[in-house]
Every structure is written in structure tokens, then in C-alpha cells.
Amino acid sequence: MSILEVRDLHVSVDADGESRQILRGVDLTVKAGETHAIMGPNGSGKSTLAYSIAGHPKYTVESGSITLDGADVLAMSVDERARAGMFLAMQYPVEIPGVSVSNFLRTAATAIRGEAPKLRTWVKEVRETMEQLAMDPSFAERNVNEGFSGGEKKRHEILQMELLKPKIALLDEIDSGLDVDALRYVSEGVNRLAATGETGLLLITHYTRILKYIQPDFVHVFVDGVIAASGGKDLADELEASGYEKYQKSGSSA
């Protein structure tokens, strides 16, 4: 069973020529089969955590450790992290002109699996997953995210995730900008992967809306670069009722 372990993580970012610390000692363990929701106000460091785990060059890890199944994630390049089983669904997926969705997906699957998937079974797998996400089959021949709506981009992120079957999936605000129908299809895709018990999910959001569709095993409140509180689904219900003010005032881990 795969396990992601983050220990005493301190991360900074360069802003306007100055280094600013964002994460101030984060401890988190995510196991395969678990769904963790990271919630917190804007600017609390939620997305920084996801991008630091994934290896975004904008962020500098000052101290602490990140391991996946005991292997040092911080010693890996971004592509090595992906091949090791890490996946990041971005809040703002980028467009890749000149690269079709079908070529992009098969190239990614080849890199992850170590060999190209057999074309006949692969085409069937992609088509069936697209149908479950209510994606028109013609999307496979379009350039990656080019001209896609916000909801289409998010569905494409989930399509990648379902096909690549990562050990750990980091989902950065996949609910932002989605209408009710798109939110339902995206959530169903996440739930399908969660149901396999083979992937650990880290869901980052500041709204409880998506948690009506995806049931987390653990909820963590992020404030000022640290986890200020952890609990179960009832903690999300508390946040829905009273917001983050109580934790912003306390500013201490719980």
C-alpha cells in the first residue's frame, strides 16, 4: 500500500525579488485508499503544498522531507515524481498547442507504464472513460486544453487521472469554476478512482460544496502555512457553518 509522508515541511517562494516563507512546518500522511481534504482561506498555503510535492520550480523547500513509499521525493525531478506515481490536477490547466489530447494521453501512459499501451484496448479505455465524464469523443483530436471551457479543462484533468491511475493524486481546487453538472461528473471520476483503494487523494478546496459529492476520510484546516486542525467530515460541516475565523485567531496546530 502506497504512502506519502510530509514531515516538517518549510517552503518559500520568491516574490518581487524577495524570499517569502509560505509553509511553516507541515506534517501530513496520505495512504492509498484515503481521501484527505485540505481546506483554508485564500493565501493560507494549500496550493503551495500541492505544487511543492509535485516539484514546481517556483517553490523552494527550505527544510523538511517528502517521501513516497520511503523514496525521497525531493531528490526526484518533476518527471521522475510523475513516473513514481504522483499526479497533480492543476487549478488552471495550461493549453498545449499542436499536441492532441489522444497523443498526449498515450505518451503519458507510455511514460508511466514503461511501454506503449496496446492501441485497440487503449482506444476502448479512453473512449469509455470519456463517456463516463460526458466528454464528446471529438475532444480526443483537439489540442490539449486549447479552446476548452473551464469545465472541459477540469474534466480533462480527471480523464488523465483515471487513465494514469497514480499512487497519489493532488487535486488543486478542481471544483473552481464548475457548474453543477460538471462538478458532478468530475466528482464521480474522483470517486471511481477512490473506490479502487489503490490511490491516495489530496483534495484542496476552500469551499465545502465539492464535499457533498466526495466524502473525505480526513479534513485538515490550513492557516498561515500550517495545519491548524484535523478531523473527519464533521470538521468540514463546522467550517461550512462558522468559517475559518476561529482557527485564524488561534493559529496553532491541533
pLDDT category of residue 249 using cuts at 50, 70 and 90:
low
Helices (H), 43-149: 46-54, 78-84, 101-113, 119-132
With 70 as the cut, is the pLDDT of residue 252 above it? Answer: no
Sheet holding 18-31, edge to edge: 18-31, 3-15, 59-68, 71-72
pTM of the model: 0.92
User: Is-contact 223 23, C-beta < 8 A?
Assistant: no
Taking residues 209-231, what's their average pLDDT?
94
- Residues in the chain, total: 254
pLDDT for the residue 78: 95
Residue 104's contacts (CB-CB under 8 Å, 6 or more residues apart) are 96, 144
pLDDT (tens digit per residue) in 129-159? 999 999 999 999 999 999 999 889 999 999 9
With 60 as the cut, is the pLDDT of residue 253 above it? Answer: no
pLDDT (tens digit per residue) in 17-26? 788 999 999 9
Owning domain of residue 205: 3-250
Number of domains making up the chain: 1
Q: What are phi and psi of 137, to 5 degrees?
A: -55, -25
Pull the grid cell for residue 91.
487549478
CATH code (residue 20): 3.40.50.300
List 67's β-bridge partners, or say none.
5, 72
